[in-house]
Structure 1
């Protein structure tokens, strides 16, 4: 599929625009001097380093973050390597996920924060940022919106009175049910696009790729640690006791 044939929301217009339009986007986003220099170079390695923070900024509705992610896609599509198709497909799916989540008033990354908190229970903002591998500032912006909306509660840490912990509110737990329904709708979109068998194979391969690259679902390792800690240990058998 060529860049000009993409037909998904605002992303299509950005992918189809020329260098002059890119410059206009930069001016409207009013990035800092550092952002302007970095985005203007559009060098492959620089853009890769910007991707993670760019996505975080985009989820926080910061225009320059959205621009960084889109420039990354444009740059990678122009290189023609196979993994760019994977990145492009992921971006198109995320756009559809945004549409599914829009009536709920949350963005894809915010939805994942709710899911992570559901598994982790009460957790500090620093721990949550570490689980998502983003800066504390990015997580602060994201969690502040969820707190303001009433989906997350911020309370004093009982183990450290000078710090706070985050946890899901009742409305956050109710919202998470709708979020998971939206996720299932995206699974259906994939199945309708490539068939159930290929969709299952794709899920299996991307899961393997994620694990091999050192990734994991935010909060999953934390949940396993809590479960292990809650499991009572068997009493060690004394040397004089006969085996059962």
Structure 2
């Protein structure tokens, strides 16, 4: 990843890797955050390219994964599962419905709600989604050893935990840092 030093374009010492984007001086206090931003952007770009080949957009495959695994869900439950917002989930479900991958049916227990369920067409798509995710994993971790993959996953989980903790903290606690 890029350094916040004059050698910004040369990547981490000893890795021989070129940084794709130098860290701007204004982001110098957050090189890890800048690296996460760049990584997330590239990951989403590659995911989008791979998913478009099977008729999906990034994020739609995650909704489908939950539906395949858990069965029919209320849209509100999908919002919670995906840590999304209602408007985004509404658009996602509508697009999946238009593509023929999900359908809505009335909830037998809550007359105000409908259940979103995968269709037979989506079940045929499952193997393709699994293949795309394996391909994406191969792209991301191409030259990492098994130990490096484990360490990377552990570090990413710790970073996520830190942000979850920060999100749960009172807003004024962030201002003190």
TM-score in same-fold range (> 0.5)? yes
For the structure 1 residues 151 and 78, does the alpha-carbon distance in structure 2 shift closer, same or farther, using more than 3 Å as the test? farther
Distance 1:211 1:168 in 2: 31
- Quick check: which has more Rg, 1 or 2? 1
Q: Of the candidates 110, 123, 126, which is equivalent to residue 73 of structure 2?
A: 123
- Aligned pair 1:79/2:27, yes or no? yes
Counterpart check, 1:157 vs 2:107:
yes
Residue in structure 1 matched with residue 116 of structure 2 by the alignment? 166
Of 135, 139, 150 in structure 1, the residue corresponding to residue 85 of structure 2 is 135
Distance change (3 Å), C-alpha of 1:114 and 1:167: same
In the alignment, the residues of structure 1 paired with residue 52 and residue 71 of structure 2 have an alpha-carbon distance, to the nearest angstrom, of: 25
What TM-score, normalized to structure 2? 0.71
Q: After the TM superposition, which residues 80-229 of structure 1 pair with which residues of structure 2 at under 5 Å, given as runs?
A: 80=28, 81=30, 82-192=32-142, 194-197=143-146, 198-214=148-164
Q: 1:85 to 1:144 in 2, by over 3 A?
A: same
Give me the whole-angstrom Cα distance separating, in 2, the residues matched to 1:167 and 1:102.
22
For normalisation by structure 1, the TM-score amounts to 0.53
Structure 1 position 110, deviation (Å): 0.6
Q: Distance in 2 between matches of 1:196 and 1:172?
A: 34
Unaligned runs of 5+ in 2: 4-8, 10-20, 166-177
Shift of 1:173: 1.9
Q: Secondary structure at the match of 2:114?
A: strand
Q: How many pairs are equivalent? A: 144
* Kept after mapping to 2: 8 A contact 1:76/1:84: no
